[in-house]
A and B are shown apart, each in its own frame.
Chain A
Amino acid sequence: GIQVEQSPPDLILQEGANSTLRCNFSDSVNNLQWFHQNPWGQLINLFYIPSGTKQNGRLSATTVATERYSLLYISSSQTTDSGVYFCAVVPSGTYKYIFGTGTRLKVLA
């Protein structure tokens, strides 16, 4: 089955720093989403981005489906950005979401 790998697995930043999170997938996909899981466990939608580039405030994402990767950019990080970031893909020909391994981000004040 498809493999979804995220890097780095852990990231510690000082408040105000920028970062790039990566999601690599091993086969073609129809759908890709980025989520933020807060310390209480709630998963929050960041982007639905099967291809192209989107921006929402300090966050932006780019998916290059032909090269099988997606990037999530966080600029001017804040302590509230801490948590775990997941990408999730739907392999072509299926209806099931497969979650990546996650990136655990800690932003220090």
Chain B
Amino acid sequence: DGGITQSPKYLFRKEGQNVTLSCEQNLNHDAMYWYRQDPGQGLRLIYYSQIVNDFQKGDIAEGYSVSREKKESFPLTVTSAQKNPTAFYLCASSILAGRETQYFGPGTRLLVL
């Protein structure tokens, strides 16, 4: 089945620790996105990538980093510089950036211990 997978489903982070969230898609989409959702709020864009080896900051990129070495994969690292990382993280993809339908993965819930 084609789709977007995210892992893990739940992730716990200790103070000062970097953690990496995985996002994989087999839809052959060029564009991929990371969003953050806080409880009771909408989605805010962290980073997006229009094509392999290219990515741009979204509205809340501070304290996060990404890479796009393969078309299928767009991992997100939450660094220790992100002081309030507890949130629901959603990955998405589309055929082209900003065009056509955007599809979402199931999300990763990150909690700080």
Chain A: residues with CB nearer than 8 A to chain B?
Answer: 30-31, 33, 35, 40-45, 48, 86, 88, 90, 94-102
Contact = CB atoms under 8 A, between A and B. Distances in A.
Given A42-B106, A86-B42, A94 B101 contact: no
A95 B50 contact: yes
Given A86-B43, A95-B48, A41 B100 contact: no
B64 interface: no
A48 B100 CA distance: 7
Contact of A30 (B31, B44, B88, B98): B98
11 contacts: A41-B37, A41-B88, A42-B107, A45-B103, A48-B100, A86-B42, A86-B43, A90-B98, A96-B98, A99-B44, A101-B42
Contacts of B103: 45
B45 interface: yes
Contacts of A98: 45
A97 to B, nearest CB: 6
Interface of B: 31, 33, 35, 37, 41-45, 48, 50, 56, 58-59, 88, 90, 92, 97-104, 106-107, 109
A30 B99 contact: yes
Contact of A97 (B41, B50, B88, B98): B98
Nearest to A98: B45
Given A95-B31, A96-B58, A97-B33, A45 B101 contact: yes
Given A45-B102, A96-B48, 7 more contacts: A30-B99, A31-B99, A41-B109, A43-B92, A95-B99, A97-B98, A101-B42
Most buried by A among B48, B88, B98, B107: B98
Contacts of A30: 98-99
A99 B107 contact: no
Nearest to B107: A41
Contact of B42 (A45, A90, A95, A100): A100
Most buried by B among A31, A95, A99: A95
